[in-house]
Each structure stands twice: as C-alpha cells, then as structure tokens.
Structure 1
Amino acid sequence: MNSPPVGSCRIGLGAAYGIGERGVLRAFEHGVRFFLWGALPKADFGAGLRRLAATHRDALKIAVQSYSRRGWALRSGIELARFRLRTDYLDFLCLANWSTMPPPDVLEAAARLQERGLVRHIMLSCHHRPTFRELGALPPPGLAAWMVRYNAAHRSAETEVFPLAAGPSRPAIIAYTALRWGTLLDARYAPPGEPPLTAVEAYRFVLSSPAVDVCLAGPRDDAELTAALTALAQGPLDEAGLARARRVGDAAYAHGRAQPPSRLRDVLAEAPDLAPSLWRDGVTEHLLSRFNR
C-alpha cells in the first residue's frame, strides 16, 4: 500500500510555538523531516528551514498552511512562504481549518498551484469527522494528506476517519493535538490517584496507531523537543501503556465536556453567543492552542 511522501520519520514539527533554528537543526539530525510552516510561524524556525533547504532540500517535507476562504487568495501566501524559506517549491499546501468540503474555487486554485509546480501535494485539516467521508470520495490525485485531531482523549478518529484512509491511493494521516493543549499533562485533568501522562507517553500513544503517518509536535523549548524525540526513539506503547493513556484521556475528556478550560471560559464570557458555533465549527481548536498552552 503506497502513501504520499511525508517522509519516513513519524514525528513532525510545527513552527508556531517557540523552537528556533537550533531546535530545527537538532530535530533534523534525529531524523525529523516533516515541518509545518503554520499561520503564526516563528521567524527563527524559518531560519532553520532555510539552512536545511540550502543543502538538504530533497530530504525535507515542508507544509504551509493557508486559512484563505477564496481561491484567488491562495497564491499570495504560497509565494510569501517560498520567499521567506528560499525554496522553489513547497511539498504540501494545507487547506486549514475546514469543517466542510472546501468550495470548488479553493480546490481548483490549489490544483493550479500544484500544476505549476509551486506545491507538490494538497492536504486538508478538518475538525468535522463526517466530512472526511466526502474527502475520501475525491478521485486521485485528490488530497494527498489529511490533518486529523487525535490524542488519548479524542480517539473517535480510530473508527470514523482512519478506516477511510485505506487502499493503494490512501491519503497520509497527519495527527495533531497529541497533548490535547497540555491538558493530558495536567494533574487537574487526570483520574483520581493517577498521575497525568508525560509528553513522551502522549506522543507515544499517537504513534501507537499504525494509521498515523506523522504525529505533529509543537515544542516551545529544548525540553519539549527532547520529549518528542524521545517518543520517536521509544516508539509505540505496550498494552499496559495504552490502557493507562486511555484512562487519563477519558478523565480529561470528561472534564472538558463539563466545562471549557479556564482561560477559554474567560474568552467565551465576553461573547457567549459565539460558543455554540465555535464548538460546532472547530474554531475551538484554534483558540485552545493559543489560550491553553
């Protein structure tokens, strides 16, 4: 069974959280090849990618996110990323934060960028799991990769998304929010009498799924990068480790359903009418990643 070229390493790094040039180079030395240049990238992260692209471009898998909702707006973001990273092409254009199938003009504009060689593959991040069934019906070449929320607390992708990504032309699966915005590591969200997960355990849980091609990490510093690289070296959890991760995940999930984390509550208190649509449309993922790290 073939998969799109996301690289053989199953840990990828996001650019928005803190590590810079030295961390990017260190990750590459440990085998990391997939790098996501997201909506709020750190400039020093880009410096690391520029250095690597100068000598190891063929080994890199660089993905750039676009939150554009109009097809005509896609190219400007791609050109800016190519200029900032000093690369002739990008490996993936990620159509970001969709909860429904993107409109035809967006898909067509993405395909034109691919035809022109500016990007090699198209991927999509989606917060609404039923939409993946529509994505799976797109004929090849279609979308080469899906970004899916998956962690020890949010496991529904195992039954609702991963089985759809099968067959000889299957999309790659890029899993994000492995730490559930830090709540899996927080004793306040753990079951009574049981410690929370470590970051290593949380990443290893995601890596335990054979459906996941890349687990995204967003380290803020060297210690958090070390945790991701340690998880990569140790690989999947054993059955006892998986059972523990699920217990902690279930407790964190139950806590989250009871009430949003405190800082998000403060945001929603300012605009309570937004809450239903935020939870439904997946904007919560974006907010949580900014307010709960």
Structure 2
Amino acid sequence: MRVPNDHPLARSYALLDPNTAASVALAFRGTVERAEIEGLVELVLNREARATDAAAALRSLEHDTSELVADTIVRATGSPHPSVRIAAVGEVARRKLFGLAKRSLVRLLTADAFWQVRRAALNALAEAGRREVLAPASNDPHWRVRYAFAQWLGAWGRDPATRAAVLGLLVLPNPHAERLRAYLHYRWTGEAPAERVPDDPSAWCPFWDWDPAVIARNLELLGRSGRRDALPVLARLVNHPDERVRSWVVLALREDGSVAQWAHALSYLGDPREDTAPVLDSLTRGVELDRIEAVAKHILAMESPPLAALKWAAAQAGEVFPAEEAATDLVRLRPQLVAVSEPTEEPFPDTHPYSRAAALTPARANELIEHPTQETSWFVLARAAKLCRVPIWHLAPQAPWKAPAVPREPVEPLSLPAINLVRPRQIGPGGPVVSPLGVSGHYGLPVEGYVRAAEQGVNLFFWEPNYVTLTRFMTRLSPADRRGVHVLVGTFEADPVKIRKDVERALRNMKLERISIFLIFWTQSWQRITPDVRAELDRLKADGLVQVYGLSTHNRGIARDAIIEGWNPVMVRHSAAHRKAETEVLPFARERGISVLTFNNTCYGRLLDPSFRPSDCFRYTLNTPGVSACFTAPSNLEYLEENLDALRNPELADEVREKLLKRGAWMYREDTVFRKTVRAEV
C-alpha cells in the first residue's frame, strides 16, 4: 500500500532524496509533526548524508526540546562532517546538555582530527565548568586550541589564590604545556618568560628548509636512491603539515621502506588530533598483504610498541593474517590495546526509530507493508520493506511532495562605473596603476562589497582559489570592466610547471586575460627561488600572462634581500605593532624605487582598540614612507565602509598616531611572548 499523498509521511519521504533533502529540511523548520521530526533526526544521524543536508536538519530542530532531539544532538557530535560536529557542539552548549554530552565532548577534545572541532568542545566544556577534563588541551597540536585554553586559564587565574589550582590543569611535563605555563605567568605577572633555544630541524634533517615547498623539491631531487638512504630521517616527517612533503615520505616508504622503518613511521602517527588517517591510508592502500603482515607482526612482537602502531597492527590480526598466529603477543599487549580501543556508543532508547527498526519481527514488518501509516519513520519502513523483500518505493506516495520553491535571484552581469582612483600609484616596472588600498576576498565579502569598493575608487583586489565571492564578482564583470581592475594572485609552489598551472588556473577561474600582480607567496627561504623558477616567471611575463611579478614574505631579511636584488614588487608584514620593516626594509625600497605592498595591518584584528578607528591602522601603513599599497580583508559591508575611509581621508592625526603606537608597543610585547610560548612548535 502506498502512503497517501496528503499524509505527513509523504512529506518526510522527500528527505530521502539527496537532491532535495536540504531544501525539504529547511521547509520543516519549527515542525511539530512527529513524522517530520523523526525524518529530520534520521537525516542528522545518516552518516552517508551530505554535510549541508545534516546541518539543515539540525537547524530545523532548534525549537524542539524533546528527549529524542536532545539525544540526536549529542550523537551528532560524532558526525563524519566537521561542520556538523561543530554545529552539534554549539547546540549542546545552547541547550546546556553538558550532562548528556560530557563523554562525547571529551572524545572530541582528545581525539578529533580538526582543531576547530576541538576548540568548540573545549569552549563548551569550559563553559560547563568541567575543568577536570580539560588538561589535554594544554598539549594540543594546534596553537589555536592551546590559545583558547590559555584564555580560559588566564580568566580563572585572575585571583592569585586560584592560580596553583589552575596550573594544575596542565599536562606536565610536556613542552607545549610548559610553554603555556610560561605564558600564563606572563599574563598574570607581566614577567617575560626565559629565552629558550628553539629546535633546529636541520640538525637532524640534512634536506630541511623552513619553506615546505623547498623540502618537497629537495625530496624530489634526491631521487629514489637518495630517499631510500634518507628513510631513517624521513620517518620523522611522515606527518609533516605540508601534503607535498608527506607524499614523498609515503612514496619512499612504499617503495623501499623496511619493516622496521614502517614501524618507526607508524609510531609518529600516534596522535589522532593530527588527522593521521589520510596518511595511514595512503601508506597502506594497495600494498601487498605479505608486507602488511610482516610489518604488523614486527610491531606486535615489540616489547612496548607505540600506541598508534599497536592499534594499526592489532587491526590487521584476523584480517590480513589469522589472529592465532599472534595470539601470545595480543594477550601480552591487551592492557595497551584497551587504552586505544574505540569507545562504545550508548544504546538507542526503545522509542527511537533505530530501536523500533531493530525490534521488527517478520509479522510486524508485513503489517507495516500493508499499512505503512501505522509508522512515523521511513527508517523503520525501509527496514520492514527489506525484511519483506519489497522495494521501498512501493510504499512511496504517488505524487512526491516538494518543498515550496524559493525564488532565486537571477545572476545578472555587473556593470562598474568608471573607477576614479584616489592617489594612484604604479606597482612595479611597467606594472598596473592601482589604488593605495586594495580589498582581499579572504573573509567572503559579499559581491556587492567589491562593487562598493570600486565605486569608492578601489581597483586592486587580492585573490586565492578559495575566495568564492571575489571569484563571483570577477566573473560577473564584462570583459571591459575586468580589464579595468587589477588582481593580485600568487603561488605556494616551487616548481616551474606547477607555478604556470597556478597562473593558468587563476586566469581561467576569473576569466582574465592577464594577471596584474603575481607573487611567490609566503617565501621562507631563498632556496625556493631557483634559477628555473625565476626563468619561468620571466616566461610568464613574456607570454603576456603576468604583467609584473614579485614575492611576499614574513621574513624581513628576505624582503630586504629581494629589494636589493631588484624584485619588484615585494610584499611584507607591517603595522603599528610590527614596525621593524620601517628600518630594515622600507629604506632600501625607497632608495631603489621598489614598490612595497603591506599586509596584516591590523594583526588579524588583535591590534584594534576603542581609542582609535580600525581605518587608522591602514592610514598608519599608507602614511609610512616606502609603502605603496596595502590590503583590507573585510567580512561585511560595515567593515568595508570603515576601512575605505582610509582611502577617502588619508591623514592620520598626531594624537591618533600616538595612541596607535602605544597600542602597537603593547601588542608587540604580547605577540612576542605569545609566539614564543603558546604558538611555538616543539
């Protein structure tokens, strides 16, 4: 029997279609109909559903305070999608479901591979007052999680009488936690931490470079024999932050790694918070089973194998080789295996659709096939149909329900007015003439924001491939209007072929004929700029694909040397907090007529203070001799309008400058300690 077209099940059936699930879920927002609520719950818990669909279902249940929905929210913290996990944690905090979700939140804090999820879990647990479970955050592999923890600890320790207890929340001894302790001491007392000798990877890695692109190229140049000889060192790089480096390490291990070297590499994949699963998958996928067996048995035979390696090796027993062949070792290692075993999930309540489906008998299943409206869940009906060997679509409504159509605004071509430049300047020899203030698409400024910027005299924009709204703005312009704006584009590569591909991708994505300014991004080492790279840049310019090229760097020494060698333009950090470029970089640029672009003028917002306007940060850098242009990266029209005021009214009053410098001096002290403690890698 089919479900009647006017029955609630006819509407919730539309949630099963992945093409319409998100729009249907949003249409159910605020529903009190049981079939629709259960349909939304099932969509949230469906591990094969897309993140957008599950998130839409979760939002549509915000009004529902039932036990079923509360249980669903807690379970959604285990979603395969990080965005859904973050949304679920937010709902846990909003609804104060801390008692139900404590175990789930602790699991996220200690084992989730995404730092954004761990930070959300940390904040929820801290808000709930669960201080006793927060210690793992002090040795988190990502500085943003450690910083969030430091903020809580700093607040809890404002009273000197509580500081000993607060410091007891740190995992000691541990390098990250020790540095966090030093940071807290500074925040509470103002005493700067003692200097530490930083780790020098070049002491153990002969092909090391601080620029990941250079390491990757060095590994390529080693050749197979060189990488084979370097395998004892390569194992330590198996979880390097840069994918290009990891790929060469994995290739070397697959090609020539010994059993012991595989075990050594696996020992570095021990922290689930470092997202080791992709590395492990690429290392082992398609490898012959005899080799997997040899590595696994070697690890199990170790007296005290690293936990990560042990977990992987134990999983091979019974899969790749008979478990009996390693029975003695498995028994010996059982206590360690318990420590790395996956937690069991709480059983579903008896009234949950999943429990009802599991409890179906053949008789009840047949009854539901005959009378499907006796149920409210398509998950249960699907199980009944399977038991009775009936296609689920036999129960579907004759006319599938569709969510009300949401009218879409047509994507109209954009037409820009003539851009009247304010204080224009040329960037590089033969380069574009641009506005001194450019706009970056980093934070997703709406398309109308770029139009507004152009109306106010901005013709310079900063683009990377994931800047969606800026791409939309560019592609909606007419060819003539696109020729009237200038885009700065860059590459993180160190290989000529890949650099050209980055240029071609940018041209294609934005429908450009030529890139106005092209930079080698985030240059951390001169080893990045080999003769073949420089030659490729010259070819790109000669081919008419690039108007002018240069490099960007945080390193003032590299910026100075680039200027001396004639690179033009050069992009470097500068603000009222980071002023050393004024003496170490900009004088060289003025002497040689080199264009300098600056970035990070507000220190990602940390420099801002009520005593001056945000636009004053841009006035400061643009009033510094030697600075040609800078970039603002607003997220909305309000921020854009404020920062554009630096273009319309460039003067910086002396009293405002003094306030900026005072704030900047404080920010520099804070940033220096922060960089040496919370953000330091160990």
TM-score of the superposition, structure 1-length normalised? 0.80
Map of 1:256 onto structure 2: 671
1:203 matches 2:629: no
Superposed, which structure 2 residues align to 1:17-166 within 5 Å? 17-38=443-464, 40-41=466-467, 43-52=468-477, 54-101=479-526, 102-139=529-566, 143-166=567-590
Deviation of the 1:44 alpha carbon:
1.8
Q: 1:179 aligns with which of 591, 602, 611?
A: 602
Larger-Rg structure: 2
CA contact (8 A) 1:24 1:45 kept: yes
State the Cα deviation string for residues 162-204 of structure 1 (Å, max 9, x = none): 111135x622111100111111115xxxxxxxx4543112111
Give the CA RMSD over aligned residues. 2.3
Q: 1:15 to 1:3 in 2, by over 3 A?
A: closer
Distance 2:478 2:504 in 1: 16
The residue identity in structure 1 corresponding to 2:437 is I
Distance 2:658 2:462 in 1: 30
1:170 matches 2:593: yes
Distance 2:455 2:503 in 1: 27
CA contact (8 A) 1:196 1:248 kept: no
Q: 1:7 aligns with which of 408, 433, 440?
A: 433
Which runs of structure 1 show a deviation greater than 4 angstroms over 4 or more consecutive aligned residues? none
Map of 2:377 onto structure 1: none
CA contact (8 A) 2:427 2:433 kept: no
Distance 2:588 2:673 in 1: 31
Map of 1:237 onto structure 2: 652
State the Cα deviation string for residues 214-239 of structure 1 (Å, max 9, x = none): 11111111111111111211103122
Map of 2:416 onto structure 1: none
Distance 1:244 1:219 in 2: 23
Superposed, which structure 2 residues align to 1:263-282 within 5 Å? 265=678, 268=679, 272-273=681-682
CA contact (8 A) 2:559 2:571 kept: no
Deviation of the 1:254 alpha carbon:
0.9
CA contact (8 A) 1:123 1:145 kept: yes
Distance 2:441 2:478 in 1: 15
CA contact (8 A) 2:465 2:506 kept: no
44-53 vs 197-206, which moves further: 44-53
Q: Percent identity, aligned pairs only?
A: 25
- Structure with larger RCO (C-alpha < 8 A, sep 6+): 1
Distance 1:236 1:208 in 2: 8
Q: 1:225 to 1:149 in 2, by over 3 A?
A: same
The residue identity in structure 1 corresponding to 2:436 is R
Higher helix share: 2
Deviation of the 1:80 alpha carbon:
0.8
The residue identity in structure 1 corresponding to 2:540 is L
State the Cα deviation string for residues 125-168 of structure 1 (Å, max 9, x = none): 011111233212325xxx3211110001001111111111135x
TM-score of the superposition, structure 2-length normalised? 0.36
Distance 2:502 2:594 in 1: 24
225-234 vs 50-59, which moves further: 50-59
Q: 1:53 to 1:171 in 2, by over 3 A?
A: farther
Distance 2:454 2:507 in 1: 20
Deviation of the 1:53 alpha carbon:
5.4
SS of 1:165's equivalent in the other structure is helix
Number of residue pairs the alignment of both structures matches: 254
The residue identity in structure 2 corresponding to 1:75 is R
Distance 1:129 1:86 in 2: 34
214-223 vs 97-106, which moves further: 97-106
Distance 1:57 1:204 in 2: 28
Higher strand share: 1
SS of 1:220's equivalent in the other structure is coil
The residue identity in structure 2 corresponding to 1:215 is C
State the Cα deviation string for residues 1-43 of structure 1 (Å, max 9, x = none): 97534434210011221103211111111111111112532x2
